Structure 1
Amino acid sequence: MTERIHRLGLRFLRVRWRVLVRLGGWSVLETAQTFLTGYAPARALDAGFLAGRPEVGLGWLAVAGLGVLVGAYGTARVYAAVAALVEPLRDRLVERVVARGVREADAGALSGLTQQVEIARDTFAGLVMVSRSFLFTTVGALVGLFSLDPLLLLVVGPPLLAGVGLFAATLGPLARRQETFLVADEALAENLGAVCPGLRDVTASGAETRIAAGTDTRIDTELRAARSLARWGVLRVASLALGGQLPIVLLLVAAPWLLDRGVTPGALVGALAYVTQSLLPALNNLVHGLGSSGSRLVVVLRRLVREKTADTTADTTDHDGPAPQAPTEDTDSTGSTGPSASHAPHLTALSLASVTFAYGPHSAPVIDDLDLDVPAGAHLAVVGPSGIGKSTLTALVAGLLRPGRGTVRVDGRPVTGPGAVGRRVLIPQEAYVVTGTLAENLGLLRPDPVPEAELLAAAEAVGLVPLLEALGGPSAHVDPAALSAGERQLVALTRAYLSYAPLALLDEATCHLDPAAEERAERAFAARPGGTLVVVAHRISSARRADRVLMMDGRRTAYGTHEELVRGSTSYRALVGGWASGPSRRSEPALALGDPDRVDTVAGPGLAGDGGHVVAHRPVGQVQTPGDLGDGGTLRRQG
């Protein structure tokens, strides 16, 4: 990534070479001012006041004052040139941030626009000013020292070069430790942001010790990063002392030796002026500006310039483990068994033909004459207002509810036919965890124990590793009451990921996760080879990540990509606007469906409205009880 930033930076500067030439031209005036800072007082002493010619001395001092005015004019013009260099950089970064926020559903796009881009612009402008000032100031001072007497250059030059070299050697390690510290600080802030609002739940569930241990770990990580950064910061101070302050000591100590070899008193005073008034301030600005701001700029640019392909590669390579592969009960024409035989890429993973469903004979249909084809390997997001029937659709696809009219087929076969359970897995909003080991929980949908390597790969893909490590590994005992709702969802997601079912149905199964964890889990399911993902979305980011979006709104149901629906569906535009302006609401049916394990497929508290699902008289008797119609089981058989 650093090499890529360097490459993009060089390309950016190469295109704007005229601005760089103008910047260098105006900076030459500062070089002249620096040259006169030491040369004019030296001549004023040697040729003027010490020679008994005060008028000559005053003349040289006047020349020095004129140099200050000329340098100030050049500095003013430099700011205009820097603006011409910095503002295009800001525009490019804004374009990238907006593009990623709109096209890739980056939840941090607004923060990147208002904070990180401004940080990058201000820091880049500061670095340009500091680096340019040090370069031209050093050239002016070294030329002045040589003009006064080459011996002065021999005294000042070596420690100056040594100090700059030491500082340059620390830039790389400082940048890495600065980034490590920022990452640790963000991780701690994210942890506290999740823990503090849920302190009552933590206390109620008796999880104080575990939550405190996790927070302590993040605090210790940030502390170690801060100490490491501070240790390298000491070298930064040492480089300043070596390159800027040691030359002053050397000039004073070597003054008798220099005077014996023909160096005039005025030249010695001029050399001290060069070091104290020019070199030391310029080096101080460079060390503090480039040392901290430079590292900060690199960190910010790494986050702003990453492209969609880089993000996708990182998500699928760094997080996603190998998808589970094992034989199923479906057999191909050669007699071999395996998942590829039942969901080849050219087949339709999910097909609904004229599907109609109502929760009672006198209620309005929740789903009315719906036709839908989802190809194998696709990623579909289902969106719509609360109570419109999104969760009902997933229950129909899972075989938990029977359509009043029409057919539902998974992998080309009836959803209630033989082997239907192995072809789809449903993860509901309220995930369940059983008492036992974590490995037992994760392997519930597998006929045989899951190899530990495969289990760990799935945990890494979905994002369960922090919880797995906190519990003590796959063999650790799990207390369901001690887990938060989000942790239970991660367990259920990993369990479903490990199943052999090619079709995964996420019925708001990530509603208790933060956006980053949700994105990681969804990308993991979408990347399963040959797998198909249907997500009931409760965040706009989920819809933007999907290949296609199904907008459910009664008879105004629409289907297409996010961009197509934004252009062509007023209902979708209104929904997207509601998502953007406030917290999302969950889609839930009219009442609990009575699963004996108290885990309802689509029900839950906080129902926004009836939605016409239940008849006014005898409602309970006219509600379908969920059950896997193939074997009569209930939701405890689902993911």
Structure 2
Amino acid sequence: MSAGPARGGGMYGRGFRFLRARWRVLVRLGGWSVLETGQTFLTGYAPARALDEGFLAGRPGVGLGWLGAAAIGVLVGAYGTVRVYAAVAALVEPLRDLLVRRVVERGVREADTGALSGLTQQVEIARDTFAGLVMVSRSFVFTSVGAVVGLASLDPLLLLVVGPPLAAGLGLFTATLRPLARRQEEFLVADEALADGLGRVCPGLRDITAAGAEQRVAADTGRLVDTERRAAYSLAHWSVLRVASLALGGQLPIVLLLACAPWLLARGVTAGALVGALAYVTQSLLPALRNLVHGLGTSGSRLVVVLRRLVREPTRTAPHDTNPPPGPADTTDPADAVRPAAHGLPAHGREAHGPDHSPTLERAAGSGSPTPTRPTTPRLPTAHPLGAPALSLTALSFAYGPAATPVVDRLDLDLAPGAHLAVVGPSGIGKSTLTALIAGLLEPTGGRIRLWGHPVPSPAAAALRVLIPQEAYVHSGTLAENLGHLRQDPVPERELLAAAEAVGLTPLLEALGGPRAAVDPATLSAGERQLVALARAHLSYAPLVLLDEATCHLDPRAEERAERAFANRPGTTLVVVAHRISSARRADRVLLMDGPRTAYGTHDELVRKSPAYRALVGGWTAVPPGRSEPALPLRDPDRVDAVAGPGLAGDRGHVVAHGPVGQAQAPRDLRDGGPLGREG
């Protein structure tokens, strides 16, 4: 916690003022607690007299009378306990109302996003914990008074045996209370920091892999785990002293009473008094001390943490200052490597790219509509091994489980820099799985993948590719912020406009009001979101572009424009998961994924050599007049789609279930057990 001693002192001062203002409730609480003192007194005194003056003296009627008095004391004490609960409620409910009012005021004044949590959880935690502390503290005080008075009434020698260990245990607990509470608070803060960090990291695991930020996120998360571990060890060490204080003050008196029994009896202590002393310790002092140690030692620090948050002073802001000036990015946040994950959006709809820093946007002076400028092309990385293939797959294999049939089986493929590859095949055959493997989102079960000689996954390879999935990711903010998300450096406006023009985003850009216009993702259609994602990828520095049906929501003309924009982008190698025959015809090479009949070549070569490819082309082109392609179903990954294209391997008129990335895939659900062979 950032609150220092001053804040803590202020909080305790407010607590004392709160109690002083309700002194009448405290007096009523103390008055009803006196009945509990009487019950405790009779717990040991009545059995002692019943033995000494009744049963041991041959007067059972007297003994039964004293036991009856003890029973009446229990009933009176129970009535007092009922009235105590009413008094505690009169003390606790005003605290709850005060905290609710404070949370609501701060939530309205500061637009505090944690106000709902404060109302529904933290206030109730404070209320219940405060009530518990009042009950255990009050019970220990009045129970101890009743027991001490009873011991003194039976025989002062009993106090000599019970009193010192009880005082020592209570003193030890009091001495460890402050450091124990401090370490309890440190542990709670460390635990919350770890939970908060994991809450930001876990939804973005796919993007962390895509950004090549595994080591950085693992190191940051490891530091949070180590901090909580050290806090837990420190708390455990001090908790040993809490257990020691309980043993010293509550259990050692029992041992001393039994060990000193001959000495006590020799000095005039009666047998009934000795039994009464044991009753005081076992039935009253030990339970009360145990409740105090566990209640005050654990719940007390928890109450301090919650109250510090609920009653902290509100942040004062200047009038009308709703947009504070931007500050430097926090580079210690594990979620920095995954900016989309910080917005809590689903991972399957994000583009994956290497750079893991948020962009700094260029702010032009003045206002008005952007002026079209000469199109420019972003610079691309050039530090690749000379002569290395842009993409190299060597005996690549992948299965969604140890017992599953491989989706990709010993696939070999080399793509030269600047190549344009279309990946085709029936729904569920593994096209999206292949792009996920190339992007590093999945790790192969066999073989290897290299981008310009760099192994996948690795940070170097992650910086060389960008993946645009079917469900494009658009976050709230300005259009310029969305388009420049994959760039570490400021993106000049002329580059933004050039990329928008290249992929066909210009009409939407103008309709929204220019690059600085705010974007509401919910108001954009699926095709418009894809255009934004395509322009973002076009502005990136990645030389390998993976389009996983990233144009499935665009019409054929818009799709062609977008694909040609990447094909004509200098230094770009393009891999397209095609869902229209036109995409395959535009590509330099086509990879047909069809189980054991995998084939590779140009469109014309495959039409001549591959019956499966001819069947696929026939399925694509056999559409009614007036309707555009595709005939294949969209949304191949993460959906349940019908198999399209007659005559393909695995086409038995059934339904193929292709689960999300990471789920097990049952064997023989895509085809008749045939492996995906090498390229033909």
- TM-score, normalising length from structure 2? 0.51
Residue 105 of structure 1 deviates from its aligned partner by: 1.9
Kindly report which structure 2 residues correspond to 1:227-266, keeping only aligned pairs within 5 A, or say none: 227-266=233-272
Aligned counterpart, 1:354: none
Q: Secondary structure at the match of 2:120?
A: helix
Query: In the superposition, relative to structure 1, how do residues 282 and 483 fare at CA in structure 2: closer, same or farther (>3 Å)?
Result: farther
Question: Which letter maps to 1:219?
Answer: V
* Other-structure match for 2:294: 288
In structure 2, relative to structure 1, the CA distance for the partners of 1:200 and 1:36 (3 Å cut) is same
- Residue in 2 aligned with 1:47? 53
C-alpha separation in 1, matches of 2:126 and 2:12: 15
Deviations 1:458-482 (A, max 9, x none): 86xx644668999xxxxxxxxx965
Asked if the contact 2:200–2:335 (Cα under 8 Å) also holds between the matched residues in 1, the reply is no
Please give the alpha-carbon distance, in whole angstroms, between the structure 2 residues aligned to 1:284 and 1:378: 53
Counterpart in the other structure of 1:528: none
Match of 2:292, as an amino acid? L
Q: Distance in 2 between matches of 1:599 and 1:159?
A: 78
Q: Contact 2:47–2:276 (CA<8 Å) still a contact in 1?
A: yes
| 2:23 is equivalent to residue 17 of structure 1 | yes
Match of 2:218 in 1: 212
Q: For residues 163 and 464 of structure 1, do their structure 2 counterparts lie closer, same or farther at Cα, with a shift above 3 Å needed?
A: same
Preserved CA contact (<8 Å) 1:589 1:607: no
Q: Report the secondary structure of 1:37's partner residue.
A: helix
What does residue 477 of structure 2 align with? 586
Closer, same or farther in 2 for the Cα pair 1:599/1:166, shift >3 Å?
farther
Q: What SS does the corresponding residue of 1:307 show, helix, strand or coil? A: coil
Deviations 1:232-280 (A, max 9, x none): 1111100000000000000001101111111000000000000000000
Q: Which of these residues, 85, 95, 98, is aligned with residue 101 of structure 2? A: 95
Query: Is the 2:169–2:248 contact (alpha carbons within 8 Å) kept by the matching residues of 1?
Result: yes
Does structure 1 conserve the Cα–Cα contact (< 8 Å) formed by 2:483 and 2:496? no
Q: Give the conservation status (yes or no) of the 8 Å contact 1:30–1:136.
A: yes
1:125-150 CA-to-partner distances (Å, cap 9, x unmatched) read 00000000000000000000000000
Query: Is the contact between residue 161 and residue 253 of structure 2 (CA under 8 Å) also seen in structure 1?
Result: yes
- Which residue of structure 2 aligns with residue 275 of structure 1? 281
CA distance change for structure 1 residues 62 and 229 in 2, over 3 Å: closer, same or farther?
same
Counterpart Cα distance in 1 of 2:243 and 2:44: 26
1:115 aligns with 2:6: no
Counterpart of 1:81 in structure 2: which amino acid? A
- Match of residue 156, structure 1, among 150, 158, 162: 162
* Alpha-carbon offset, residue 596 of structure 1: 7.1
| CA deviations over 1:284-323 (Å, ceiling 9, x no partner) | 00000010000100111111111125x88xxxxxxxxxxx
Given the superposition, is the C-alpha separation of residues 608 and 305 from structure 1 closer, same or farther in structure 2, using an over 3 Å criterion?
farther
Where does 1:287-436 land on structure 2 (aligned, <5 Å)? 287-308=293-314, 380-381=321-322
**Other-structure match for 2:556:** none
Aligned to 1:138, which of 144, 152, 160?
Answer: 144
Q: 1:614 to 1:137 in 2, by over 3 A?
A: closer
Which consecutive unaligned segments of at least 5 residues does structure 2 have?
A: 1-6, 338-351, 367-473, 485-490, 515-680
With over 3 angstroms needed to count, the CA separation of the structure-2 counterparts of 1:197 and 1:160, relative to structure 1, is same
Question: Secondary structure, in 3 states, of the residue corresponding to 2:358?
Answer: helix
2:358 paired residue among 472, 488, 498: 488
Q: Is the 8 A contact 1:591 1:603 kept in 2?
A: no
Query: In 2, Cα distance between the equivalents of 1:92 and 1:601?
Result: 58
How far the C-alpha of 1:585 sits from its partner, in A, is 3.9
User: Please, what is the CA RMSD of the aligned residues?
Assistant: 3.9
Q: Indicate the structure (1 or 2) with the bigger Cα radius of gyration.
A: 2
How many Å separate the matches in 2 of 1:265 and 1:210?
A: 71
1:226 alignment partner in structure 2: 232
Kindly provide the CA deviation profile for residues 497-534 of structure 1, in whole angstroms up to 9, marking residues without a partner as x: xxxx999xxxxxxxxxxxxxxxxxxxxxxxxxxxxxxx
Q: What percent of counterpart residues are identical?
A: 69
Give the superposition deviation at 1:228.
0.7
Structure 1 residues 258 and 602: alpha-carbon distance in aligned structure 2, compared to 1, 3 A threshold: farther
Assess if the C-alpha contact under 8 Å between 1:588 and 1:607 holds in 2.
no
**What TM-score do the two structures reach when normalised by structure 1?**
0.54
Q: Contact (CA 8 Å) 2:221, 2:334: kept in 1 or not?
A: no
Q: Quick check: 1:182 aligned with 2:188?
A: yes
Q: Secondary structure at the match of 1:488?
A: coil
1:93-142 deviations in whole A, cap 9, x for unaligned?
01111111110122211111111111000000000000000000000000
For 1:232, the aligned partner's letter is: W
Aligned counterpart, 2:175? 169
The amino acid that maps onto 2:123 is: V
Q: Distance in 1 between matches of 2:63 and 2:309?
A: 57
Measure, in 2, the Cα distance between the counterparts of 1:502 and 1:104: 30
Q: Offset at 1:588?
A: 3.7
Q: Distance in 2 between matches of 1:45 and 1:601?
A: 101
Tell me if structure 2 keeps the 8 A contact 1:590–1:610: no
Alignment match, 1:201: 207
**Gapped runs of 5+ residues in structure 1?**
313-376, 384-424, 428-457, 471-479, 504-582, 616-639
Answering whether residue 130 of structure 2 is matched by residue 124 of structure 1, we say yes
Count of residue pairs brought into register by the alignment:
381
**Equivalent position to 1:31, from 37, 57, 64:** 37
Give runs of aligned pairs for residues 497-516 of structure 1, distance below 5 A.
Answer: none
Output the CA distance in 2 between the equivalents of 1:258 and 1:2: 48
Alpha-carbon distance between aligned partners in 1 of 2:76 and 2:308, rounded to the nearest angstrom:
39
CA distance in 2, matches of 1:300, 1:110: 14
Q: Which amino acid aligns with 2:477?
A: R
Asked whether the equivalents of residues 161 and 243 of structure 1 are also in contact (C-alpha less than 8 Å), the reply is: yes
Cα distance change on mapping 1:463 and 1:211 into 2, 3 Å: closer
Residue 70 of structure 1, CA deviation = 0.2
Determine the C-alpha separation between the residues in 2 that align with 1:7 and 1:70: 36
Contact 2:217-2:335 within 8 A present in 1 as well: no
Question: Cα 1:590–1:136, aligned 2, differ >3 Å: closer, same or farther?
Answer: closer
Q: Are the counterparts in 2 of residues 34 and 140 from structure 1 also a CA contact under 8 Å? A: yes
Are 1:590 and 1:614, in contact at CA under 8 Å, matched by a contact in 2? no
Code of the residue aligned with 1:586 in structure 2: it is G
Cα distance in 2 for partners of 1:296, 1:591 equals: 42
Answer whether contact 1:170 1:236 (CA < 8 A) is retained.
Answer: yes
Contact 1:94 / 1:117 at 8 angstroms: preserved in 2?
yes
Residues 588, 465 of structure 1: alpha-carbon distance in 2 compared, 3 angstrom cutoff? closer
C-alpha deviation, 1:209, in angstroms:
1.4
- Contact 1:589-1:613 within 8 A present in 2 as well: no
Shift in Å, 1:163: 0.4
Aligned CA distance change for structure 1 residues 69 and 590 (closer, same or farther; 3 Å): closer
Residue of structure 1 in register with 2:642 after alignment: none
* C-alpha separation in 2, matches of 1:214 and 1:280: 45
Contact 2:216 2:334 in 1 (8 A): no
